[in-house]
């Protein structure tokens, strides 16, 4: 996900309210983890944060969705990235030999910048684009070679969407 002018103009207060009130932490946890109780699919997953001033923090990992939410509310990042599942917990990277610390799984993610499709960026138009994309996904579902699964749609900056699909064929 790349920074945009709108990202730079989003106030830290607005981001904090977004994380507190709107971001679907539990849904993201369940989607990444595949279960309601923590597994290595979540506890061994890397989260990276970009803070105000372009400070980039890598190799964070969490036990629960609530732990992730607490950290995000404390850091209030301008953005964060969900990385691969590693052979060990990313937060323990310094105590694991580099040969033993390797990525094990990744998801297929499509980052759609809505400015490529719409000169007038309003919530109504973005919603219409999202519904169109969902319709496209559903209508073309039979022609995809992936196994059936539920994709997840998440906001990406102020003008984008992430579409990601959990599938054993593309995890590795």
Q: Give residue-wise pLDDT tens across range 32-81.
A: 998 899 999 999 999 999 999 999 999 999 999 999 999 999 999 998 99
pTM of the model: 0.68
Instruction: Give which of 168, 39, 44, 41 is closest to 100, Cα–Cα.
Output: 44
Catalytic residue selected from 81, 113, 118, 171: 113
Angle between helices 25-33 and 65-75 (to 10 degrees): 130
Min mean pLDDT across 71-75, 119-123, 159-163 is at 119-123
Q: Give residue-wise pLDDT tens across range 74-83.
A: 999 998 999 9
Residues 69 and 2: their CA atoms lie apart, in Å, by 22
Catalytic residue selected from 35, 66, 92, 111: 111
Estimate to the nearest angstrom the gap between the alpha carbon of 136 and the chain centroid. 22
Say if CB 34 and CB 16 are below 8 A apart. no
- CA distances, 127 to each of 22, 130, 136 (Å): 16, 5, 14
To the query of whether residue 46 is one of the catalytic residues in this protein, the response is: yes
To the query of whether residue 13 is one of the catalytic residues in this protein, the response is: no
């Amino acid at each position: 996900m790349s920074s945009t002018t709108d990202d730079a103009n989003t106030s830290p207060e607005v981001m904090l309210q977004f994380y507190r009130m709107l971001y679907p932490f539990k849904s993201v946890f369940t989607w990444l983890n595949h279960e309601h109780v923590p597994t290595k699919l979540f506890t061994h997953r890397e989260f990276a944060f970009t803070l105000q001033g372009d400070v980039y923090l890598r190799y964070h990992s969490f036990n629960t969705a609530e732990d992730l939410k607490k950290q995000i509310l404390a850091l209030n990042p301008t953005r964060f990235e969900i990385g691969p599942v590693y052979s060990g917990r990313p937060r323990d990277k310094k105590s694991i030999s580099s040969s033993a610390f390797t990525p094990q799984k990744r998801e297929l993610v499509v980052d759609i910048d809505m400015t490529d499709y719409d000169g007038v960026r309003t919530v109504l138009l973005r919603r219409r684009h999202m519904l169109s994309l969902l319709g496209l996904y559903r209508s073309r579902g039979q022609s995809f070679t992936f196994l059936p699964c539920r994709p997840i749609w998440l906001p990406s900056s102020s003008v984008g969407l992430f579409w990601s699909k959990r599938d054993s064929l593309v995890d590795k």
